[in-house]
Amino acid sequence: MKFFSSLMCSRAACGFWYLFFALAVATPASADDGQPDEKVRTRIVPLIFSSENTGVAYGLGGVSIGAGQPQAALFALGFTSENDSKAVSVGALNYQIPNITNLFFSGFFYQSDMPDYRYFVDEDPGFAIRGNDSAPNFKRLGLKDSIARVQARWVLPIGAAKSEDFSLSRRAILPEQSQPRLSLNPRQSGVSSIRFEWEQHERDFLESDKATDSGSDVFRLRFDWDNTGSRLIPTSGGRVRLSSQWGNNEDSNGRWRLYDGAVSGFFQILVSQHWAKQQVLALNLYAAHTPTWDPSSAQNRPPAYLGARLGGLMRLRGYRGSRFYDRSSWVYSAEYRLIPRWQPLANVLGKLGYRVPWWQLTFFADSGRVAPDFDLREFHRNMKTTAGVGLRILAEGLLIRIDFAHSEEESATLVAIDQTF
């Protein structure tokens, strides 16, 4: 589960500041992978980073893996900056009710106040259409952001989960660990889950003496089928995700619906392995559509930061978050993932008290677009393309992702937790 958005940087060096940020506040991959320790592992880390939206920022973050239950975690983060930006977030992940083994609960809260934020603005900043051919119209304004989220996840008792000794925390996290043979039948293979999520997301935009509020109460119903042997480093199989979202806009009393889905496939490259522990080609297709979209009014469509959007951490990396926004979206992603045999971080960061068994090098490309209708022919005209190189570092069971991405408008350093797909 990805709870954090990144702050985009113009200098690659910023990504290394974010490494400390990620170590402190990441959603723990060990909640879904790896062999959990019996004891609780807690880390508290001072934070320092810089971005064009915050300037130099300082704070404190911490994560406690196995707090109360071996598959669960708690995390917290707070920072302030030289331009008076500030943020705080707390979360509890993957907690279970005793004697109900297949049901997991998570909760998250985030609040920030950034008085000098670079944001795409055209008329209404919360709902402005940013079509595929739109110009990069950015302004400096104040942004107050608030997110509260609660999720319930039910792991269906089929496939891998029907085994009596099944555990989410027993999947491969090391390249030398074997991964099971897979079937294309969900009843026989993979982990199938149904998730229900409620989110309240509010954004207040402040420009001179004008204030524009936007926000939604969102309900999500999602089905996932993870037919791989590892959530972090799969070598075969695939994943399917389908979701339906319903939202109520607070400022206009509008109601909207969004459907989206993704399909991923993973293919091991069996060439010379004397210099590589693992090589994988990872492919992904993502699509979204807003059936309630009214082109003449923003009332029954989601805010730009919740709708069918491209740009940011996950899709069309290299463009700013929610850079493109319309009724529908379609995007392809491809990644070449390499885990080399040369692994110096295990010793270097091990001396600082961190377990870092491997790092991974990634080359990636994204290609897609938004459109006013869900039209396959239109999706494949004038597609936007981005490319870049990334690092993945497994530290304390957390997969830290640092991507250096380039588009025709700008370059960006993105830092997040977990693989892109």
Cβ(401)–Cβ(6) below 8 Å: no
Q: What is the mean pLDDT of the chain?
A: 84
Cβ(128)–Cβ(143) below 8 Å: no
Position 326 scores a pLDDT of: 93
Q: Which amino acid does the sequence have at 327?
A: R
Confidence tier at 120 by pLDDT (50, 70, 90): low
Given a cut of 90, is residue 349 above it in pLDDT? no
Domain that holds residue 355: 14-417
Position 18 scores a pLDDT of: 43
The whole-number average pLDDT for the span 356-361 is 92
More confident site: 246 or 116:
246
Position 124 scores a pLDDT of: 52
Q: Please name every residue paired with 194 in a beta bridge, in sequence order, or none if there are none.
A: 154, 223
- Kindly state whether residue 42 falls inside one of the protein's structural domains: yes
- Kindly state whether residue 4 falls inside one of the protein's structural domains: no
- Kindly state whether residue 237 falls inside one of the protein's structural domains: yes
Cβ(81)–Cβ(54) below 8 Å: yes
Position 30 scores a pLDDT of: 46
Given a cut of 50, is residue 219 above it in pLDDT? yes
Tokens 């297709």 belong to: 285
The whole-number average pLDDT for the span 136-153 is 88
Give the phi and the psi of residue 302 in degrees, each rounded to 5. -70, 155
Confidence tier at 136 by pLDDT (50, 70, 90): confident
Residues 6+ apart with CB under 8 A from 50: 9, 14, 17, 56, 57
Confidence tier at 17 by pLDDT (50, 70, 90): very low
Q: 5: number of CA atoms within 13 Å, CB side?
A: 17
Tokens 């110009």 belong to: 135
Assign 374 to helix, strand or coil. Answer: coil
Nearest residue to 121 (alpha-carbon basis) of 130, 133, 112, 113: 130
- Kindly state whether residue 47 falls inside one of the protein's structural domains: yes
- Kindly state whether residue 5 falls inside one of the protein's structural domains: no
- Kindly state whether residue 50 falls inside one of the protein's structural domains: yes
Residues 55-84 have pLDDT tens digits of: 899 999 888 888 888 888 898 989 999 999
Position 131 scores a pLDDT of: 86
Cβ(127)–Cβ(298) below 8 Å: yes
Nearest residue to 415 (alpha-carbon basis) of 265, 323, 313, 326: 313
The whole-number average pLDDT for the span 204-229 is 84
Position 406 scores a pLDDT of: 96
Position 168 scores a pLDDT of: 66
Under the phi-then-psi rule, with left for phi > 0, alpha for psi from -120 to 50, and beta for the rest, what region is 179? Answer: beta
Cβ(195)–Cβ(220) below 8 Å: yes
Given a cut of 60, is residue 6 above it in pLDDT? no
The whole-number average pLDDT for the span 318-342 is 94
Alpha-carbon gap, residue 300 to 397, rounded angstroms: 41
Position 242 scores a pLDDT of: 98
Position 25 scores a pLDDT of: 36
* Count of structural domains, the chain: 1
Alpha-carbon gap, residue 369 to 326, rounded angstroms: 9
Residues 235-269 have pLDDT tens digits of: 999 999 999 999 998 876 789 999 999 999 999 99
- Kindly state whether residue 8 falls inside one of the protein's structural domains: no
16-20, 182-186, 226-230, 315-319: which has the minimum mean pLDDT? 16-20
Position 34 scores a pLDDT of: 46
The pTM of the full predicted model, rounded to 2 decimals, is 0.85
Position 288 scores a pLDDT of: 98
pLDDT > 90: what percent of the chain? 48
Confidence tier at 16 by pLDDT (50, 70, 90): very low
Residues 25-53 have pLDDT tens digits of: 334 444 444 444 457 778 887 888 787 78
Q: For position 296, which CATH number holds? A: 2.40.160.50
Alpha-carbon gap, residue 90 to 76, rounded angstroms: 4
Q: Please name every residue paired with 248 in a beta bridge, in sequence order, or none if there are none.
A: 217, 255
Position 398 scores a pLDDT of: 76
Position 38 scores a pLDDT of: 53
The whole-number average pLDDT for the span 331-341 is 96
More confident site: 123 or 249:
249
Position 355 scores a pLDDT of: 81
- Kindly state whether residue 72 falls inside one of the protein's structural domains: yes
Cβ(142)–Cβ(112) below 8 Å: no
pLDDT > 70: what percent of the chain? 86
Residues 6+ apart with CB under 8 A from 279: 268, 269, 271, 273, 336, 337, 338, 339
